[in-house]
Structure 1
Amino acid sequence: MKQIVCLLMLSVLVIGGGYAVDAAGFNDVLEEHFAYEAVIWAQEYDIIDGYADGTFKPNLTITEQQFAKLLANYYELETPYDELKKQTPSANWSDEYYDRLASYGVPLNGYFDNTMRAAAIKRGVVAQAITHLADGKRSLDASIQFLIDSYISTGQNPQYENRNLQKFFGVSNNMTRAQVVTLLHRMASRNYYEISEDAQEIHLNASNASLNTLASNGQKQLDKTMQQTTPAKSAWEGIYTYYYKWGKGATDYNRRDAIITNATSKSFYISLTANDGQESGTVDGTATITSSSKAVMNKSANGNRCVLEFERLNNALKITEVDCIAEHDEGTNFSGTLKKQ
């Protein structure tokens, strides 16, 4: 594995006569942000990329599929010849990363279900996935202890230190994009580049097990408290898509993609992407269900005003944007009727 030498590439943003330094062009990661150096490092070595609006969204909750991409990129994992055969067969941008991680038996939940991939990842899952590649197969407690002993993590709840390891680490809490990048940066600074013997042995696959079998074994390695079951059969939950190609040019198209997860009787979490040729935008947030077929979201997960109205149709989702300009480029919006996949 290559040795990484960090070259701190700083871009300068002039604000009101003073100078504020942002991280490698991300206008929302300024020098005073705790993850500033980690973000510079991660972008320099193609571990991360940002959003179309020039932001990194460091405080946004990270999904499992976003984490999968960062982890696969950090270790430069090889791509297997086989591909996962998912329960949700529609193509997903994260497929290649899950294929790579599956071939090393990394413990994750979302190998076979696109909806699980779009859900927020728990700190306990992050601990087991990282430790599997860095130090070998480990239980949840042993994985946490490895991160702490290696000074990769300092825990999250100091009141439980030396009393309850899992509560000290905060295994059930979500993580932000900045927090995960910081963990990987600490791993790099401590020379954790080599893939563990356990993971290498799984990748060599002497028994010629299918990629699905390797992925399933990875799922089972997760502590039972970290394992997700098949998403609830809520009428709202699912993957919704709209695509229209109106010309022959590479950018002559309109596309909308929505993933609804964690639906209850009162709310659901939605991740939405809109692309109108060269203009694009993304938004994540929680919508409140107002009737059996309608819901509304008033602000994004970033805390910005973003009013979207949702209507559940027969195998479709109608989305009407009322005001969401803070979350996307001016040339597009989130409105449309998307077909359930």
Structure 2
Amino acid sequence: MKKLVSIFLLTVLVVAGSHKVEAAGFKDVTKDHFAYDAVMWAAEYEIIDGYSNGTFKPNATITEQQFAKLLANYYELEETYDELKKQTPAANWSDDFYNRLASYGVPLNGYFDNNIRGTAVKRGVVAQAIAHLAEGKRGLDESIQFLLDYYISTGQNPKYENRDLQKFFGISNNMTRAQVVTLLHRMDSSNFYDISEDADEIFQNASNTSINTRAINAQNQLDKKMQLTTVGKSPWAGSYSFYYKWGKGSTDYNRRDAIISNASSKSFDISMTTNDGLEFGSVEGTATITASKKAVMNKSSNGNRCVMEFDLLNNALKVTEVDCSAERGEGTNFSGTLKKQ
């Protein structure tokens, strides 16, 4: 189906000239970015959209609700009249996407909790969700192997290849927005458009199962290592971002993004990305809370020295990098004040 659409859109682009191509672009996704083709493809088919400032934030950590939107859009999942009865009843922009995904039984964590939706989605969850729609109900290992067999993913930690499948894939690591779009682009290249029989059977719902029950079953399909049932109400928890455009060039900008999750009274997990034009860096780790509004991280989840200090401000996070050169691109740093999203 998408191939036929591609021919039609190509014709439109030729007739319309260059304006359509420019409209589909993002000023922070340059032609030398590894995901340039994937992002342009996803924008063309309206799988993604960007931010009001004309950026896509390709190197920002993707949240589960952002992933849910991309996945629902890629498969063009049908809308449902049923609505989830959430534990956090406030309306959320991702409600429609989660309602659709629940109706197909897609394994995700955030069906009932807006806070969980806003946390970084793990690679293992991404693998199981994609495999469910493409191949049918699969365990974690089978889902990973599916992505590897069809070169949708090439893994992340080569030293574990043929030794430990889950560590090779990096099931507990976060993903960037560009990385997820790249996976979907590879799905498209391998002609994975059709919804699996398992997912379609859940959607047809011959047994008249409620959407909440289907969502619970979907959550339980996730491997135990991937399940997240609650997010602490710590004032630290949330997503933070900073963007500054200092020139007219496509790389004349600075960007910082951070997601804090699994926050307790003693510590929290943090995932940060930094992009200063063409230079990019990322880090994940656990910070220790040293005072009510102060915390420090001494090493990354990779075991490298990475000292960063955090100050919790009013709806903002101040980050001071002491030394994290082993975890970032040369020419970047993690320091900055990020606004809570």
Tell me if TM exceeds 0.5.
yes
Secondary structure of the corresponding residue to residue 198 of structure 1: helix
- Ranges in structure 1 where 5+ consecutive residues have no aligned partner: 13-20, 240-258, 272-284, 298-306, 312-317, 324-332
Tell me the matched-pair count: 272
The within-5 A match list for 1:132-143 is: 132-143=132-143
Q: Which residue of 2 aligns with 1:168?
A: 168
Residues 22 and 31 (structure 1), Cα distance of their counterparts in 2 relative to 1, 3 Å cut:
farther
Cα gap change, 1:267 to 1:144, in 2 (>3 Å):
closer
Structure 2 CA distance for partners of 1:151 and 1:23, relative to 1, 3 Å: farther
**Which structure shows the higher strand fraction?**
1
Query: 1:117-156, aligned counterparts within 5 Å?
Result: 117-156=117-156
Task: Provide the C-alpha distance between the structure 2 equivalents of 1:99 and 1:159, rounded to a whole number of angstroms.
Answer: 39
| SS of corresponding position for 1:111 | coil
- Residue 229 of structure 1: SS of its match in structure 2? coil
Structure 1 residues 291, 32: closer, same or farther in 2, change over 3 A? same
**SS of equivalent residue, structure 1 residue 146:** helix
Deviation sequence 1:76-109 (CA, Å, 0-9, x none): 0011111000001111111110000000000000
1:210, distance to aligned residue in structure 2 (A): 0.7
Shift of 1:296: 8.5
Q: Which amino acid aligns with 1:176?
A: T
Partner of 1:319: 315
Q: CA deviation at 1:207?
A: 0.9
Alignment partner of 2:167: what SS? Answer: helix
Deviation at 1:232, TM superposition (A): 3.1
Residue of structure 2 in register with 1:39 after alignment: 39
What CA distance in whole angstroms lies between the structure 1 residues aligned with 2:271 and 2:90? 18
Residues 147 and 23 of structure 1, relative CA distance in 2, 3 Å threshold: farther
Q: CA–CA distance in 2 between the matches of 1:221 and 1:68?
A: 16
Q: What SS does the aligned partner of 1:26 have?
A: coil
Taking structure 2 as the reference length, what is the TM-score of the superposition?
Answer: 0.70
Residue 227 of structure 1 is matched in structure 2 by 227
Alpha-carbon distance in structure 1 between the residues aligned to 2:317 and 2:215: 39
- Write the letter of the residue equivalent to 1:319: N
Question: Helix, strand or coil for the counterpart of 2:83?
Answer: coil
State the percentage of identical aligned residues: 67
Which residue identity lines up with residue 72 of structure 1 in the other structure? A
Task: After TM superposition, list the pairs within 5 Å mapping 1:184-203 onto structure 2.
Answer: 184-203=184-203
CA distance in 2, matches of 1:290, 1:116: 25
2:26 maps to which residue? 26
Whole-angstrom distance in 1 between the partners of 2:57 and 2:46: 17
Question: Do the aligned partners of 2:260 and 2:268 also contact (CA within 8 Å) in 1?
Answer: no
* Residue of structure 1 equivalent to 2:158: 158
Change (3 A) 1:149 1:289: same
- Structure 1 match to 2:302: none
SS at match of 1:54: coil
More helix by share: 2
Hey, what does 2:300 align to over in structure 1? none
Deviations 1:164-190 (A, max 9, x none): 111111111111101000000000011
User: What's the CA shift for 1:266?
Assistant: 4.3
- Alignment RMSD (CA, Å): 3.5
Instruction: Please report the TM-score for the alignment, with normalisation by the length of structure 1.
Output: 0.70
Q: Secondary structure at the match of 1:154?
A: coil
* Counterpart secondary structure, 2:315: strand
Whether the 8 Å CA contact 2:261–2:268 is kept in 1: the answer is no
**How far apart in 1 are the matches of 2:65 and 2:103?**
16
